[in-house]
Chains A and B, each alone.
Chain A
Amino acid sequence: MPANLLVDPQDPLLATRKRAKKPRRKTPPRKSTFRTVLRRGVVFLLLVSALVGVIGLVLLDTFVRSKFEGVKWALPAHVYSRSLEIYEGLPLRQDQLRWELDQLGYRVVSRVTGPGQYSVNGARMDLYTRKFRFMDGDEAAQAVTLTFSGNRVSDIVGTGSHGTLVRLEPMIIGGIYPEHLEDRVLVRLDEVPTYLVQGLLAVEDQDFYKHLGVSPKGILRALVSNIRAGATVQGGSTITQQLVKNFYLTHERSLARKGMEAIMAVLLEIHYGKDQILEAYLNEVYLGQAGKRAIHGFGMASQHLFRQPLRELELHQLALMVGMVKGASYYDPWRNPERATARRNLVLDVMTDQGAISTGVAAAAKGRGLDIAPQPGTAINPYPDYLQLVREQLARDYRQEDLQSAGLRIFTHLDPQVQRQMQSSVASVVGSLEKGYKVANGQLQAASVVVRTGTGEVLALTGNRRAGFVGFNRAVDARRQVGSTIKPAVYLAALNQPRSYTLGTLVDDAPLSIRSGGQQWEPRNYNRESHGLVPLYLALGNSYNQATARLGLDVGLDRVVATIRALGFEGPMDKVPALLLGSVEMSPFEVAAMYHTIAAEGFYSPLRTINAVYTAEHEPLRRYPFNTEQRFSPATMHLLNYGLQVVMREGTGRTAYRRLPEAVTLAGKTGTTNDQRDSWFAGFADHYVGVVWVGRDDNGKMPFTGATGALQVWADMMAGLNVGSVPFAQPDGVEYYWVEPATQSLSREGCQGARYLPYIPGSEPTRRSPCFQRPGEKVIDWFQELFGND
């Protein structure tokens, strides 16, 4: 140990050090060390805590700011109906308009003073429309007086610039919601009625514009108010704290969360202005439940409770909503009207105490009823089948997450009036069929589609006999054999060759038997009778299977298939003889597409559900314009439409006139499949193409045909829609002749067997019937013979 050797044990310094060291090793020095360590530890811990706190605070601050400055909410896409355009001559009954106005939340008043109101005096209606931003410009609110005559709007007198044309805002018919199913319509603070803000601040946070997020004074005041009122009328949390709780935190009740809430409230106040915080609160607050859909914010609550925009609400309505902030379910005005009224009145009292309103105004507001709209259904979307189609079309152009969060506004062609009539007709007539034919209750199902003629706009659609039922959409997804509904395509393929076929051409309706796919195909008429030689128009009108099969085979399956394709059917199709009698499977939607081409005189247009898409900021994003393509000549289509009118006047569709006036010209075709498993009708009147299918989900037999089943639903629907006659103008390239189909000769009006038929010029008969000769023509013939041509 050389080092030890260097140390002199007698060294005084060493002795001092030893002395000095000794006491430290005794008890008191030990205590001192512990304290030091403890002190250091505490300091260290404090430092670490402070550091963690600072880091935490920074992170919290970042979190608070990023969420508040970013996209605050996932906004659902809202889907709208068409907007009703009212003009002189519009077929619309007063009760139909009143229904639509009620759906839009218009108020019936004795004297109209502002937007969203109407009054009725006999056939006269005073209406004050609301402003709305459309694709082609802003529609200002305007006051108009409408007069109804019969089933039409006969006169419009307006104060606006348009005068003769009034456009209502569209109805919200559903939405595409985020997964948490929160529904909200954002409002800006400057759009919010003053009473709402005053009421909210009076009840929830009187010092909102003074405190820094947390208000001890407010807590004390709330305590005093609550003791005085004998109930909880004020909360201790500031509006900022409530916003933090709802917007950032969970609803857990703990001291830690309360502390966090206070810190975050202060952070929020440091970074943002009071108005920004208040606006966020107005849009965040939970105000009720519509089925699975959660109602958030006063903009949506206004629609939910009153079907009115926020700006139209009166004091008593605004006070109700303010009261509901405390407990939307507890004060639900539909379930607990007395409780909701008491709460509303308390809000009015607090507002009076705060000087926001006078005692008189409060008393007047207290005297009002709750004025809430009828309770909305619990369904997320009232027209689920139509919405499904909208979603499918949207899915081609938009990502699902954008649809669920970007707040898109989707304007569709759904016509609530037509949809309502469709649902009513389907439900009532299918019910009557079950009763009348003694079919087990609930065994029958139905689907229907209505399209606006010429535009291809799908106005209404249902895939179930029960309105609003969410399930299998038979209108789009159920593909069933169409039976005789296909026959117009067979006749069109024939008439497209005017040199070979005309409406007067005779077709043999005798039984036939051919080999097809290794089997014998022997179609028979529905009544098992044969009718000999029949003219084309009659074979179609009476839906003769044997004549149609023979005609189709003569024309050629290739041509028939090409015609079906040209009419707009894109699905699978077997090129077999049975196709001629409707073995092909189609959905009602696909049948509607084909019949729309027929009703539009040979112009195919893709069927459309969406009109336009706007951003959440009301800016136009995309339009889905009308498109068309000529597939057949108007002259040929005129001939086919003649045949389809024969169906309705003289053939299988004639029972439609039990429900519709004789003066109305209709066109259409019935369809029944083997063993009466499917009952179809497709047809059109002036503005509507409609298709109805009735059948059983188990594909079982039914005791009725297309004529006695689906046609009855169709006719009831068209009668309810107050339809007019099919336009049937004679196009260029068509001439009418009196003919005798039996003898294939020209005839005259009044002659036996004479029929007035349209022909493509050059295809009419050349032979003249004996009756064709006019009085004196024999003499003229004699003269011609006498004089010759010289």
Chain B
Amino acid sequence: MIRSAARLVAIVAVLALAGCVSSPPVPVETRPPVVEEPRAEPPQEPDRTPPRTPGTIRPDQQTQEREQVPSAAAGLIAQGWRQHNANNHEVALSIAERAQRIEPRNPEVYLLMASAQFDLYRLDSAEQLARRGLSLSRSGTRVNGQLQRLLKRVVAAQ
């Protein structure tokens, strides 16, 4: 009975105080937002952020938020897909490697490479390239889904 009364008083007190007390800022852990479809965007200027002080090494924010594709790499990837679709897989691979030199962390590059290797029936290569692409893409993105599906097909074919 006493406990119930105390509960009631406490609730009333909290409700009364809620309107006039603002809580102090608290540290918030950064969560990566859901990544949107990759888009061709203009290149960014080099990072000019102030120096990081010791003890505050943090993961990149920009790369988490979007998968940038400089237009030069995007153009090459599109060209590579055209060659791939025309069954010119070696040429497609050669073009994909050019895109890789420009944008080595673009998962679409590895999707193209893995697809070409898969069609050439080089299954081990295709699997590893798909895994590399997955390691560079965030869950929930279109390219991540495509890589997952390709990997399943590769594994099933082995």
- Interface residue ranges, A against B (CB under 8 Å): 85, 87-89, 91, 135-137, 150-152, 162, 164-165, 452-455, 457, 601-603, 611-612, 623, 625-630, 634, 638, 642, 645-646, 649-650, 662-665, 687, 724-725, 727-732, 734-738, 748-750, 755-756, 758, 774-776, 783, 786-787
Do B98 and A136 have beta carbons less than 8 Å apart? yes
Question: How far is A114 from B94 in the complex, measured between Cα atoms in Å?
Answer: 29
Closest 3 CB pairs of A and B: A89-B43, A662-B51, A87-B72
For A604, give the chain B residue with the smallest CB separation.
Answer: B128
Give the chain B neighbours of A724 by CB distance below 8 A.
46-47
Whether B104 is near chain A, meaning CB under 8 Å from some CB there, is yes
* Chain B positions 87-142 with a Cβ under 8 Å from a chain A Cβ: 90-91, 93-95, 97-98, 100-102, 104-105, 113, 125, 128-129, 131-132, 135, 138-139
- Could you say which of A455, A642, A730, A755 has the most chain B C-beta atoms within 10 Å of its C-beta? A730
- Which listed residue, B24, B42, B48, B55, touches A88 by the CB 8 Å rule? B42
Report B45 CB to chain A, min CB distance, Å.
8
- A87-B72 Cα distance, complex, nearest whole Å: 6
Flag B47-59 by CB within 8 Å of A: 1 or 0 each: 1111110111111
12 pairs of residues in contact across A and B, judged by CB atoms under 8 Å: A89-B42, A152-B43, A152-B46, A457-B101, A603-B135, A628-B132, A663-B50, A687-B104, A724-B46, A725-B47, A725-B60, A735-B29
Question: Number of contacting residues on B, CB 8 A?
Answer: 59
Does B63 make an interface contact (CB < 8 A)?
Answer: yes
Measured in the bound complex, the distance between the Cα atoms of B29 and A738 in whole Å is 9
Q: Check if B132 sits within 8 Å of A603, measured CB to CB.
A: yes
- Besides A602-B135, A730-B60, A786-B6, 13 more A-B contacts (Cβ < 8 Å) are A85-B98, A85-B102, A136-B83, A136-B94, A452-B101, A454-B100, A630-B131, A663-B50, A724-B46, A728-B60, A730-B59, A786-B7, A787-B7
Q: What residues on A are CB-neighbors of B86 within 8 Å?
A: none
Shortest Cβ gap from B134 to chain A (Å) = 9
Q: Give Cα distance in the complex from A213 to B31, angstroms.
A: 85
- CB neighbours (8 Å) of A750 from chain B are 27
Which residues on B sit within 8 Å (CB–CB) of A150? Answer: 45-46
Q: Find chain B residues with CB under 8 A from A749 CB.
A: 27
A758 touches B55 (CB 8 A): no
Most central of A457, A727, A735 by chain B CB within 10 Å: A727
Judged by a CB distance under 8 angstroms, whether B64 is at the interface is yes
Are A786 and B10 touching (Cβ within 8 A)?
A: yes
Set of chain A residues within 8 Å of B101, measured between Cβ atoms: 85, 452, 455, 457
Chain B neighbourhood of A774, CB < 8 A: 26
Task: Please report the C-alpha to C-alpha distance between residue A564 and residue B84 in the assembled complex, in whole angstroms.
Answer: 37
Q: Which residues of A contact B50 (CB under 8 A)?
A: 663
Give chain A nearest CB distance to B66 CB in angstroms: 11
Tell whether, in the assembled complex, residue A727 and residue B94 are in contact, meaning their CB atoms are under 8 Å apart.
no
A730 and B32 within 8 A (CB): yes
Taking the complex as formed, is B158 at the interface, i.e. its CB lies under 8 A from any CB of chain A? Answer: no
Chain B residues within 8 Å of A89, by CB:
42-44, 70, 72
Task: Check A627 against B51 for contact (C-beta < 8 Å).
Answer: no
Q: Which residues of B contact A (CB under 8 A)?
A: 3, 6-7, 10, 23-24, 26-27, 29-30, 32, 42-52, 54-60, 63-64, 70-73, 75-76, 83, 90-91, 93-95, 97-98, 100-102, 104-105, 113, 125, 128-129, 131-132, 135, 138-139
Among B30, B57, B75, B83, chain A packs the most CB atoms within 10 A around the CB of B57
Known A-B contacts A88-B43, A645-B57; the reply to A623 vs B27 at CB < 8 A is: no
Indicate if the CB atoms of A649 and B63 lie closer than 8 Å: no
Q: Cβ of A734: which chain B residues have Cβ within 8 Å of it?
A: 59
Task: Determine if B7 and A628 form an interchain contact, defined as CB atoms under 8 angstroms apart.
Answer: no
- Chain B residues with Cβ below 8 Å from A626 are 93, 97, 100, 113
How far in angstroms is the closest Cβ of chain A from B54? 4
The distance from the CB of A540 to the nearest CB of chain B, in whole angstroms, is: 13
| Minimum C-beta distance from B140 to chain A (A) | 10
Given A729-B60, A731-B135, decide whether A775 and B23 contact each other with a Cβ distance below 8 A: yes
B100 and chain A: residue at smallest CB distance? A455
Using Cβ atoms and an 8 Å threshold, which residues of chain B touch A729? 59-60, 63-64, 105
Q: How far is the CB of B3 from chain A (nearest CB, A)?
A: 8
Q: Would you call B75 and A727 a contact (CB within 8 A)?
A: no
**A725 vs B113: C-alpha distance when bound (angstroms):** 26
Task: Given A85-B101, A774-B26, decide whether A628 and B129 contact each other with a Cβ distance below 8 A.
Answer: yes
Q: How far is the CB of B137 from chain A (nearest CB, A)?
A: 9
Within the complex, which residue of B30, B63, B93 is in contact with A727, where a contact is CB–CB below 8 Å? B63
Q: A88-B42, A625-B93, A663-B48 are in contact. Are A756 and B132 (CB under 8 A)?
A: no
- B43 contact set on A, CB distance < 8 A: 88-89, 152
Residue with the greatest number of chain A CB neighbours at <10 A, chosen from B42, B48, B131, B132: B132
Considering the complex, give the chain A residue whose CB is closest to the CB of B74: A164
A649 touches B91 (CB 8 A): no
Taken together as a complex, chains A and B put the C-alpha atoms of A162 and B30 apart, in Å, by 40
Are B97 and A649 in contact, with the CB atoms below 8 A? no
CB distance from A683 to the nearest CB of B (A): 15
Tell me the bound Cα distance from A638 to B132 in angstroms: 14
List the B residue with the shortest CB-CB distance to A649: B54
Given the known interface contacts A625-B93, A625-B97, A663-B48, the answer about A164 and B71 at a Cβ–Cβ threshold of 8 Å is yes
Indicate if the CB atoms of A453 and B104 lie closer than 8 Å.
yes
Residue from B27, B72, B105 whose CB has the most chain A CB atoms within 10 Å: B72
> Once the chains are docked, how many angstroms separate the CA of A727 from the CA of B105?
9
In the assembled complex, the Cα of A89 lies from the Cα of B44 at a distance in Å of: 7
Q: Which of B3, B23, B51, B102 makes the CB contact (< 8 A) with A776?
A: B23
Q: Name A753's closest neighbour in chain B (CB-CB).
A: B55
Are the C-beta atoms of B57 and A165 separated by less than 8 Å?
no
Q: A136-B91, A626-B100 are contacts. A663–B47 as well, Cβ < 8 Å?
A: yes
